[in-house]
Amino acid sequence: MSSIMTNASAMTALQTLNATNKNLATTQSRISTGFRVAEASDNAAYWSIATTMRSDHKALSTVQDSLGLGASKVDTAYTGMQKAIDTVNEIKVKLVAANGASAADKEKIDVEVKALQGQLKSYADAATFSGANWLSVDTTSGHTTAGTFNDVKIVSAFNRSAAGTASLSTIDIKVQDIKLYDAFAGATGANDGILDATRLGTTGARSATAQVPTAGAAPAAGDTYSVSSLSVKDHSDAQITQQLAVVEGALKEMTTAATNLGAAKSRIDLQKTFTSSLMDSIERGIGQLVDADMNKESTRLQALQVQQQLGIQALSIANGNSQSILSLFR
């Protein structure tokens, strides 16, 4: 039946053309933005997952910055510790030279020892990065227990559980075990710095009770010394031997402290590498969910453009069918 009121062919052609235009608009949007899921309306589930992953990626970027800052602080402390170890070894050499030396020579050696002690304090005070100094500290206030330095926590990871709960992991630096000086007035040998702690001359172990030896006298069982203030001037050879034991005790602790700092630095470097790889993996995962396949979209675009042209042609033909009715009335 031919009708001038209802053109079924034109309506079919128009619906097809509208669908083609809609698909063409979607493809053009994907090509221009690079995303096949740019909004929640495109795919709510994928958009939600990708948004959460992007947020986690930003958090990991901050973790990477925290690790870099922490590595710099550890490097600074390690450098200061290494220089301090070298200087304490120099003091050890001076003590060996003073053993058996004359009083005049001991006085000269003492001047050198005092200079080295001053250099030790200088190294510790200068080992500061971004306001943090782990070698020369003051635990008078600002810490859970006066005299004890709180552990330093370096954020090392951002975690998200299967339930979606976010949490942070840290690398803890036990500054209490690596500090060289502590300005806390009430400190004892147990929680003083490595260099200003009082140590027994007999064993070199820390002592909570200080007992100042009488210069030149026979060593007493409870005599104590500290690396930061020991003196060879007017002291007997037996007392200098005790001082050697004190220096050895401090060197042992300093070596352990340097080892701990080195281990922390190694762990931070490993975590930085892992975090960088994890960030790359998350980026790839986001891409798999929301990125458009440009090869596929370019091919689809060409096909839709042809379909659009054919749709326009079909609609034109359908609209021309009504004109043929006029010939019936000629």
DSSP per residue, 148-167: BPPPEEEEEEEEE-TT--EE
Query: What's the pLDDT score for residue 314?
Result: 82
Widest CA span in the chain: 143
What pLDDT is recorded for position 5? 67
pLDDT of residue 301: 85
* Residues of the chain scoring pLDDT < 70: 1-6, 187, 325, 328-330
Claim to verify: residue 257 and residue 309 sit in the same structural domain:
no
The answer to whether residues 94 and 172 belong to one domain is yes
User: Do 308 and 164 belong to one domain?
Assistant: no
Pull the structure tokens for residue 168. Answer: 């942070």
| Judgement on whether residues 165 and 61 belong to the same structural domain of the protein | yes
47 inside domain: no
Task: Specify the pLDDT at position 263.
Answer: 95
The residue type of 199 is: R
Look at residue 330 in the predicted model and tell me its pLDDT: 64
Same-domain check for residues 198 and 304? no
Tokens at 110, concatenated: 């003492």
Per-residue model confidence (pLDDT) at position 316: 83
Instruction: Write down the number of H helices and E strands in the chain.
Output: 5, 8
- Does residue 162 sit in the same domain as residue 310? no
CATH value at residue 242: 1.20.1330.10
Which residues constitute the domain of residue 218? Answer: 57-291
Give the per-residue pLDDT at 65: 94
Q: How far apart are CA 204 and CA 223, in angstroms?
A: 10
d(CA 111, CA 214) in angstroms, rounded, equals 19
Asked, for residue 264, whether it belongs to a domain, the answer is yes
In a domain, 44, yes or no: no
Cα 80–Cα 126–Cα 157 angle in degrees, nearest 5: 65
Residue 32's pLDDT is 86
Tell me the three state secondary structure of residue 316. Answer: helix
Distances (CA, A) of 145 to 132, 214, 299: 19, 34, 70
Instruction: Tell me, yes or no, whether 184 and 308 share the same domain.
Output: no
42 falls within a domain: no
